[in-house]
Structure formats: structure tokens, C-alpha cells
Amino acid sequence: MPAAGKLSRNAARGFRLFWHRQNHIPESVSHLTLPTNLPWLRTLEQIVLPNWQSALGFIMAFAVGMTMLKQRRRQSNIIAWTFFTLLFPVIGLLSFLLFGGRKLRRTAATKRTINRIAGIITRSGGGPPTPSAPEGGNGITLLDDKDGIATWKALCAEIAAAKTSIHITTYLLGHDETGTEIVRLLSARAREGVQVRLLVDALGSLGVRWRLCDPLIKAGGHVCRFLPVIPFPRQGSANLRNHRKMAVFDGQTAIVGGQNLALEYIGPAPHKGRFRDFSARISGPAVAELTRIFLSDWCFASGESPERHREQLRFRPEPAGAVRIEIVSSGPDEPDDPLWERFIALIQECRKEVTLITPYFVPDETLFRSLLLKIRSGRKVRLILPARSDHPFLDLARRPYLRVLHKAGADVRFHQKRMLHGKLFIVDNSIGVIGSANLDMRSLFVNFEVATFVYSPNTMRRFRLLSESIAAETLPYAGSKMEARNWRNRALEALAHMVGPLL
């Protein structure tokens, strides 16, 4: 390009002038030359400076690649980010700084310290010896209906019944009828002396006007944003998001799942654009782990010490049923990837069938190969996805995986009537998982997530009925638009598949 060439020549000329001045060579010398006994200077002038854009790309790509190797990132992720930075050096580096981080040392170390202190306090109150150990004595109710009204009613009822504390984490707080009403209900309880804390992810609710929360703050409640992205994040990457959705009341009951506090997810009446989703209400000893997770996140976001919440962390709920429940959290503050590891283990241990309901499906190689191996060994794998999600690029990125799984014998189905946002994992009708994590690399390796593992035959029957009711609203892969491939679809699929590890 003429502009780039001119810039390169000017850079080389400027370097020669700088060299002569540093070595006290008169500027009147018309032909500036470099010493012949310094070949590296000749190389710099003849090769590096005229190709400064390529050199910059290599340097930045090398820096990004080395950083990701230190973070023990997956090979596909490293290749994708390095290649992207090599092609677009400045944009690639800025994008990596903003969205490419995973387990950043300083951020992760701070959060791990908070987790450790909160865990010690919780266990000193009689909590489980390990945070994610299955516990008995719990009750669970599935909150499911096609219009999100069941979760709305349960949430409002728990807010009204709370006596001492209400702790809510959400990725998205809608500036709509649902979000406004939730804030109003919380404000009323705060005025009555109930301790109310609302933790909202800063990026998930980036477009929300924070005046929405003013009534709650004026009523004595507390509102905090998790890792603000504006101004430039000081604690780490803007990529590290709190995708958890949970509400804990008095440390005794909780509502967990994938539904945000917005009109698209829940509300008092049916809504045309509402997503198909569900949550669960749990009570009993397992809620203590949810309290620990919430207060650890709150202390990290607010700067408070876990010692300030010692009484709540030590509280041990009474038994409320006979269901064994295990709470598993995952995120940059964990030394490994607990949710991903558990999902892989469940798939590999499957003896009969696996049902996966998820809005987004962009698996890593290990998860994908595990599913493929189970299909080829005679196990039944059923995958239920939205026909069209709210992220079209992810829909393109999933196509190559679904095509291979379908050809291998998987029962791939697409939900037709509305956006399917629920996340449900059923293995052999003996273990069920409901939570906030999707089956994509962002949820499994980057986001802060939480999932509830349920071990109960009675609950599994309810989970199975839910999966069958959703499956009744689907169409099979065969004959779907996924099989139609023209040159444009193939090109877009290839691009999405290449960029998939960045998503």
C-alpha cells in the first residue's frame, strides 16, 4: 500500500538520522549511511523497518501466545487468538486485553483468597469438609412453565417471606417491567429492615440505566456491579463475567437456574418474546454452599472482608427433605475447571443415555469426542437446542459439531416455538444437573458459573417429564435447514468454526 510504504521509508530515514546524531556525524552529510561492521543494523533497516506492520504482528502474536501458554489455555484457543493477533495486530491485542483473559493471576489470586477464607468460616460452622461434596437432607422443586410465571411467583413469594436476608445474583437485570418490579419488592423489604444485597454483572447489564436501582439503595439495600468494564477494567479482563443466577433467602432456601431478572425470562403474565427456561427451588444444607458462593462474589466485587459476614457464612440450614444435592461452582477463581471436568466424567460414565438441553453448543475437543465415543459405543445421546438462538454466530459455529454427531447417530433436535434458554443435563435417569452453564467454551472455561447436581430418582422423573415436554416442541435434525449447505453457508460455517475458540 502506498501509505504504508511511505511510512516505512520515513521510519528507515528517521532511524538513520537518529544513528548519525547519536554518533556525532554532521547532519550536512547528504548520504546517510550505517556502519558496515554492524550487520544487525543493516537487517533492521532493510528488513524490519520496511515491514514494520508484519514485525509488529509477529511480536504481538508471540506475546499473546506466550501469555496463553502460561495460563495453560487449550491448543485451539491459543491458535485462534495468535492467528487473529497476527492478522490484526492492534485490534487483536486490544481485544485480547479486554476479552481474552481467563485465569488472570492477580484477579484469580484475590478471589481465591476470599474463597478460602469464606470456606474456612463456613466449615467452622459445621459445613461440608469440601465445598462441592454431595449432601443429603435437601428438598427441591422444579420451577417450570412455558411462560416463566412459576419462577416469578416463587421469587416474589420468597422475597415476601424473607425475615433476615435476601441475596440475589443475576447476569442481566432488565430495565423493564420485571426488573422494575423486582427492585420495588426488594426496596420494600429493605425498608422493613431485611438485609438486601443485589449483585449484577457489569457487562451483562451494561445497557441498563443504574437509576433503576436508586430506590433500593435509598431504602437501605446494597447494590454492586461485578467487574465493571467502563472505565478500563483494573482488576482484570472484561472477559471474566459472573454468569451465575441465584437467589438465597435467610440462608435457608434458594432459587437457582438460568433465568435472569428480565422480561424475556420471567414475569407475572405471558410475554410474546419470553424464552423457554426453568429454575429450581432448593432448601436444606446445600443452601449453605450457595451462601458461601454469593458472599465470596460479593466480597470480591465490593471489597468487603468475608469476616464481616461470619454469622451468615457459619449458618447451617436444617434438613428439609431426603434429596442428595451437590453444588459445583466454576470460574477463573478455581485452579481447574470443575464443571467441565464433572460433565466429562458424567458422559464417560454413562451406561445407557444422555440428554443435553442447552441454548449454545460450541464444545471443546474433549467434550465433543466424549459424546462421539458414547454414540459409537451404543449409548443414546439426545441433544436439544433452539432452532435459532439469540446469538446467530454461535448458531453457525455449532453446525460442524452437530453434523458429525448426527451422522454418528445422535438424536439432535431443534426447539421451534421460541428461544430455548434452559440448561438441563440428565444421565441414565439417575443424575440431573440444572444451573447457569451452557455447553460452550465461554461458560465452561471463562465465566463464573454455578450448577446444582441432583441425585434423586423422584426428581429425575420430574426432570425427564420436563425434557419430554420440551422435546415435544422440537423437530429432528433430518430435513432441517442445517442440512442445506450452499457456498455461502459453508464459508460462514468455516469462519465461525475458526473463531469459535474466541467465543
Phi, psi of 159 (to 5 degrees): -60, -45
Cell numbers 504504508 correspond to 4
Q: Quick check: 413 and 383 in contact, CB under 8 A?
A: yes
- The Cα-based distances of 209 to 202, 231, 240, 387 in angstroms read 11, 16, 22, 32
13 against 266, higher pLDDT = 266
Phi, psi of 357 (to 5 degrees): -115, 120
* Mean model confidence pLDDT for the chain: 83
**pLDDT value at residue 123:** 84
Q: Which amino acid is at 441?
A: M
Q: Is the pLDDT of residue 36 over 60?
A: no
* All three cell numbers of 338: 470443575
Q: Is the pLDDT of residue 80 over 70?
A: no
Half-sphere exposure of residue 40, counting CA atoms within 13 Å on the CB side?
A: 0
Nearest to 389 by CA among 365, 414, 407, 370: 414
Q: Quick check: 464 and 495 in contact, CB under 8 A?
A: no
Q: Is the pLDDT of residue 7 over 60?
A: no
**Same fold for the pair 105-324 and 338-502:** yes
4 pLDDT band (50/70/90 cuts)?
very low
**pLDDT value at residue 208:** 74
Q: For 278-309, give one letter per residue: b (16+ CB within 10 A) or e.
A: bbbbbbbbbbbbbbbbbbbbbbbbbeeebeeb
Q: Which amino acid is at 234?
A: R
- The fold of 338-502 is Endonuclease; Chain A (3.30.870)
32 pLDDT band (50/70/90 cuts)?
very low
d(CA 310, CA 314): 6
* DSSP assignment of 399-426: HHHHHHHHHHT-EEEEE-SS-B---EEE
Q: Is the pLDDT of residue 1 over 50?
A: no
* All three cell numbers of 265: 425470562
Q: Is the pLDDT of residue 322 over 90?
A: yes
d(CA 119, CA 291): 10
* All three cell numbers of 373: 465415543
**pLDDT value at residue 88:** 63
**pLDDT value at residue 412:** 96
198: helix, strand or coil: strand
Q: Is the pLDDT of residue 439 over 60?
A: yes
pTM over 0.75: yes
Q: Which helix (H) or strand (E) holds 140?
A: strand 135-144
48: DSSP letter: I
In the predicted model, what is the mean pLDDT of residues 11-24? 53
Domain layout of the chain by residue ranges = 2-100, 105-324, 338-502
**pLDDT value at residue 417:** 83
Q: Is the pLDDT of residue 394 over 60?
A: yes
388: DSSP letter: S
**pLDDT value at residue 104:** 58
How does pLDDT run across 180-201, given as a tens digit for each residue?
Answer: 999 999 999 999 999 999 999 9
In the predicted model, what is the mean pLDDT of residues 338-344? 94
Cell numbers 446494597 correspond to 222
147: helix, strand or coil: coil
Q: Is the pLDDT of residue 502 over 80?
A: no
- The Cα-based distances of 438 to 158, 163, 258, 395 in angstroms read 27, 34, 9, 13
Half-sphere exposure of residue 78, counting CA atoms within 13 Å on the CB side?
A: 13
- The fold of 105-324 is Endonuclease; Chain A (3.30.870)
CA terminus-to-terminus distance, the chain: 32
Length of the chain: 503
* DSSP assignment of 229-271: -SS--SSS-TT--B---EEEETTTEEEEES--BSTTT--SS--
How does pLDDT run across 110-144, given as a tens digit for each residue?
Answer: 888 899 999 899 888 776 666 667 889 999 999 99
Q: Which residues lie across from 440 on neighbouring strands?
A: 362
Q: Quick check: 259 and 246 in contact, CB under 8 A?
A: no
* All three cell numbers of 403: 453434523
Q: Quick check: 408 and 377 in contact, CB under 8 A?
A: no
**pLDDT value at residue 483:** 61
Q: Which amino acid is at 361?
A: F
279: helix, strand or coil: strand
